[in-house]
Amino acid sequence: MNALDKALGLLPPKLRCDAEKIGGELEELRLRAGLPLAAVYDGGRNREGRETVSRGDIMYVLERATDASMHSAAQNLKNGFISCGGLRIGVCGEAVYSAGEMQGYRSYSSLNIRIPHGFQGDCGEILSTVCAGGIKNTIIISSPGMGKTTLLRELIKEISERGTRTGVIDERNELLCAAGGEAGFYLGRNSDVITMLPKRESALILLRGMNPQLIAMDEVSRKEDAGLISEINGCGVNIIATAHAGDEQDMLRRDVYRALLRRGIFELAVVIQIQDGKRRYKTVRLRE
């Protein structure tokens, strides 16, 4: 069953029919209580369905996504998402906050089902730039929903296939998209993947036990992540990561990334932008 079928299988029958009629390559399905089903497709285009989403529909999806076992999603729910069969489902609603942290949700008002896709096109040019004269520490940057994770997944696979021992930190199961113990995407013959564990714990396990030459991770967004990258780099291990930013100049405006760039940890940035309705990949040397 592919990711799209899995996503459609989570929906109540009326919304499933609605979503199937949208056509194109579905990237996100958004359910907001009291509003029509909304979809993002074909590289960021939006369309609404006819059916109005009820709170019951949202509960239906959550029941199916968690196999009616909220305990299995509790930790992720605190971070606002559920990982289900390789799909990532963003969750919003009335949060319960106590003891200084979010405990979960009292009720749910909207969901965003993100449907992962394989890389389309040829990443050969990016790959040869990243690998020329040894693997370069690379950061893939774009605005949300532009395909950072998809490109990272493809680079991991290709680099791993070329013989590099690659440790993959897959905190949200978005790279491997594992379901029921089986990988949704092939990440190469030399990849060792840790899923659903915070980045720091994953990195320690990989560094202690798997002797990686390269560590790949998705979504560097916090100061702790930036610190971790410095530590990994200090161990002599290369890094490929993704970050939210419009371009390399935008990165410099953000504290988290500015520190990393100033330390000269990343040699290369791959910037993803949409031009004329198509994704364009630009490689930028961050230091010589």
List CB contacts of 251: < 8 A, sequence separation 6 or more: 139, 141, 243, 245, 257, 258, 261, 269
Indicate whether 64 belongs to the interface with other proteins (CB under 8 A). Answer: yes
- Residue pair 164/214 in contact (Cβ under 8 Å)? The answer is yes
User: How many other CB atoms sit within 10 Å of the CB of residue 122?
Assistant: 10
| Token digits of residue 127 | 């790959």
Indicate whether 60 belongs to the interface with other proteins (CB under 8 A). Answer: yes
Please say which residue, 66 or 112, places its beta carbon nearer to other proteins: 66
Q: Alpha-carbon distance 32 to 29, whole Å?
A: 10
- Residue pair 177/1 in contact (Cβ under 8 Å)? The answer is no
Please say which residue, 64 or 172, places its beta carbon nearer to other proteins: 64
Indicate whether 98 belongs to the interface with other proteins (CB under 8 A). Answer: no
| Token digits of residue 225 | 């992540």
- Residue pair 175/156 in contact (Cβ under 8 Å)? The answer is yes
- Residue pair 82/172 in contact (Cβ under 8 Å)? The answer is no
Indicate whether 67 belongs to the interface with other proteins (CB under 8 A). Answer: yes
Which listed residue (36, 42, 55, 70) binds other proteins by CB under 8 A? 70
Closest distance between other proteins and the C-beta of residue 56, in Å? 9
Q: Alpha-carbon distance 153 to 136, whole Å?
A: 16
Please say which residue, 48 or 63, places its beta carbon nearer to other proteins: 63
Binding span for other proteins by CB under 8 A among 68-76, 130-138, 153-161, 247-255 = 68-76
Distance of CA 49 to the CA centre of its chain: 26
Please say which residue, 53 or 151, places its beta carbon nearer to other proteins: 53
Indicate whether 54 belongs to the interface with other proteins (CB under 8 A). Answer: no
Binding span for other proteins by CB under 8 A among 55-63, 134-142, 202-210, 256-264 = 55-63
Closest distance between other proteins and the C-beta of residue 69, in Å? 4
Mark residues 124-163: x for contact with other proteins by CB under 8 A, - for none. Answer: ----------------------------------------
Q: Count of H helices and E strands in the chain?
A: 10, 13
Which listed residue (14, 42, 54, 72) binds other proteins by CB under 8 A? 72
Closest distance between other proteins and the C-beta of residue 9, in Å? 9
Indicate whether 180 belongs to the interface with other proteins (CB under 8 A). Answer: yes
Please say which residue, 76 or 238, places its beta carbon nearer to other proteins: 76
Indicate whether 63 belongs to the interface with other proteins (CB under 8 A). Answer: yes
Q: What is the 3-state secondary structure (H, E, C) of 197-263?
A: CCHHHHHHHHHHHCCCCEEEECCCCCHHHHHHHHHHHHCCCEEEEEEECCCHHHHHCCHHHHHHHHC
Indicate whether 71 belongs to the interface with other proteins (CB under 8 A). Answer: yes
Binding span for other proteins by CB under 8 A among 70-78, 87-95, 199-207, 238-246 = 70-78
Count of residues that interact with other proteins, criterion CB under 8 A:
14
List CB contacts of 209: < 8 A, sequence separation 6 or more: none
**What 3-state class would DSSP assign to 52?**
strand
Indicate whether 66 belongs to the interface with other proteins (CB under 8 A). Answer: yes
Binding site for other proteins (CB under 8 A): 12, 60-61, 63-64, 66-72, 74, 180
